[in-house]
Every structure is written in structure tokens, then in C-alpha cells.
């Protein structure tokens, strides 16, 4: 069930969608965006030169790295990507050799066109960070964890629009997240976007959402009540110059 509901959710991490109400959406967390808390890096000392062998996950899938090859298994589609790897002095080179059922590749593999993807790789505790070594500098960093906890919620706005929200965390600490409309009605925030931050205050639990492109948008989703299986609350924000607000109810999706 989780795999089916994740189809399309966080899709902006792999593909940009254009819609007059939602704009072009990029759901990938930008670690250097000052307005975005993003995943919290492990504060333990890095392990320089350590080969990043093993299975590493983000909200959109899992990459399995070994000494000579890799496998990417998407969580949001049936996409699988295979190829070879080399690791020399903290530089990880990934060469794609074959793929199946992929409409597009993860953003961090799309930066290098048809050339091998080259990263400065750092393992810090349970976190793998891949810094793309592109000819044009980029602030984007691909981050993965050894284990992620995933929450899926189907939210229905007071106008009847439905969207699925997914939040990933590490030991209770927010990592990344995203949302996507599921009924073709983009009036609830936007057609899709990313959850940039999660916080808990005296007024409730808050999810900060954003989308970007020709028509950027942002909103705060506030949970007023939460149980293991149900949530409700209100939201407010803006999208293409129009303000929006309303209430919602939600149910927990499980496998």
C-alpha cells in the first residue's frame, strides 16, 4: 500500500510538473536554502575516505552501493537503475549501465547528462552525503540515511480535495517530506510540493510546505489534533498571488 501511495508523491525529486495552479514543482530538499531547515546532519565526526558501501535511503528510494556497482530502487515508482562505481580518495563515481521502468532519474543523477556522475562522498554516523562535483557549482546535496521512518497521511480539505502527505524521519527527527494531489483538483495548497520543515509548538504541530517554479507557493499546515490513525487541523498560505485557507481531516495510511 505504501509503495502505491508513494507513486507520484515526491515526484518532483525525479521530475518537474507544470500546472497553472502549482507551477513547476521541485520537491528535493535544498540543504543550503536559508528558508529551509532540511534534513539535520549528524553531528558526529565524519569518516574520511570510508567507502560508502551498504544500503542508503531517502524518501524517494534506496541506493545500494558496493565496491564495484550500485542499484537504485525507487520508492515512488517501479524504476530500477544499475551500474558501476569507483571510489578513490572520497570521490564516488557512478556510471549508469541500464535502467527499467524509469520515466526519469533521481535529480542527483540528472546533473551530469550522459556522463558518469561524480560526487564527493562523506559518511557521518548513519548519514551519507553526496556533494555533486559538477562543472557549474551547485548548492544541492543528496543525503541518505541507513534507516528512515515513513508516515503517510491522506488529507481531505474542507472543499473536498484530497492529497497524500509523506514525512520521513530519523529517530523521531524530521528528514524530508512531500505531498501530491490524488484527485486531479489542485486547490488544496497546489498539485504537489515538498514539506520543508516539521515543528511542534504550543499551538500544534506544523508542516511548512513549498513549491517553486513559474508560480511559487507556500503554506503552513497545522495539526490541531493527532491520534495514531487520524488528524485534523487547518492550513493557510499563498499560491500565484492568491491567498488560501481552510480546514482538513486526515487518516493514516499503512501497509
Confidence check: pLDDT of 165 > 60: yes
Tell me how far apart the alpha carbons of residues 110 and 103 are, in angstroms, rounded to a whole number. Answer: 12
Phi, psi at residue 108, to the nearest 5°?
-75, -15
The tally of CA atoms less than 13 A away on the side-chain side of residue 174 is 20
What is the 8-class DSSP label of residue 189?
S
What domain count does the chain have? 2
User: pLDDT tens-digit profile of 16-61?
Assistant: 333 333 333 333 333 333 333 345 555 444 455 678 999 999 988 8
Q: Are residues 205 and 221 in the same domain?
A: yes
Strands 242-253, 54-58: parallel, antiparallel or unpaired by DSSP? unpaired
Tell me how far apart the alpha carbons of residues 101 and 147 are, in angstroms, rounded to a whole number. Answer: 25
Q: How many C-beta atoms lie closer than 10 Å to residue 193's C-beta? A: 31
> What average pLDDT does the structure give for the chain?
82
Residue 186 sits in which domain range?
A: 2-31+148-253
Which of 145, 163, 190 marks a domain boundary? 145
Share of the chain above pLDDT 70, in %: 80
What is the 8-class DSSP label of residue 13?
G
- The whole-number pLDDT of residue 211 equals 86
Cα 71 from chain centre? 19
Q: Are residues 153 and 249 in the same domain?
A: yes
Q: Are residues 138 and 203 in the same domain?
A: no
Please give the grid coordinates belonging to residue 226. 493527532
Inter-residue contact 85 to 93 (CB < 8 Å):
yes
Q: For residue 41, is it within any domain?
A: no
Which of 145, 167, 202 marks a domain boundary? 145
Q: For residue 122, is it within any domain?
A: yes
Amino acid at each position: 500500500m505504501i509503495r502505491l501511495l508513494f507513486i507520484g508523491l515526491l515526484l518532483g525529486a525525479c521530475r518537474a510538473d507544470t500546472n497553472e495552479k502549482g507551477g513547476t514543482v521541485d520537491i528535493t530538499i535544498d540543504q543550503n536554502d536559508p528558508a529551509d531547515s532540511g534534513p539535520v546532519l549528524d553531528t558526529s565526526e565524519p569518516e574520511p575516505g570510508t567507502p560508502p558501501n551498504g544500503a542508503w535511503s531517502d524518501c524517494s528510494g534506496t541506493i545500494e552501493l558496493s565496491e564495484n556497482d550500485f542499484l537504485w530502487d525507487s520508492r515512488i515508482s517501479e524504476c530500477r537503475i544499475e551500474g558501476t562505481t569507483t571510489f578513490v580518495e572520497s570521490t564516488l563515481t557512478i556510471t549508469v549501465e541500464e535502467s527499467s521502468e524509469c520515466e526519469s532519474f533521481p535529480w542527483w543523477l540528472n546533473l551530469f547528462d550522459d556522463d558518469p556522475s561524480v560526487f564527493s562522498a562523506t559518511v557521518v554516523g548513519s548519514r551519507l552525503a553526496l556533494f555533486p562535483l559538477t562543472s557549474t557549482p551547485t548548492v544541492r546535496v543528496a543525503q541518505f540515511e541507513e534507516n528512515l521512518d515513513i508516515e503517510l497521511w491522506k488529507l481531505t480539505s474542507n472543499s473536498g480535495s484530497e492529497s497524500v502527505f509523506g514525512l520521513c524521519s530519523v529517530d523521531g527527527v524530521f528528514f524530508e517530506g512531500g505531498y501530491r494531489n490524488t484527485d486531479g483538483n489542485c486547490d488544496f495548497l497546489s498539485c504537489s510540493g515538498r514539506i520543508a520543515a516539521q515543528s511542534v509548538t504550543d499551538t500544534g504541530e506544523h508542516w511548512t510546505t513549498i513549491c517553486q517554479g513559474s508560480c511559487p507557493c507556500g503554506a503552513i499546515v497545522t495539526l490541531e489534533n493527532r491520534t495514531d490513525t487520524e488528524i485534523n487541523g487547518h492550513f493557510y498560505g499563498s499560491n500565484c498571488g492568491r491567498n488560501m485557507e481552510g480546514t482538513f481531516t486526515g487518516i493514516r495510511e499503512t501497509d
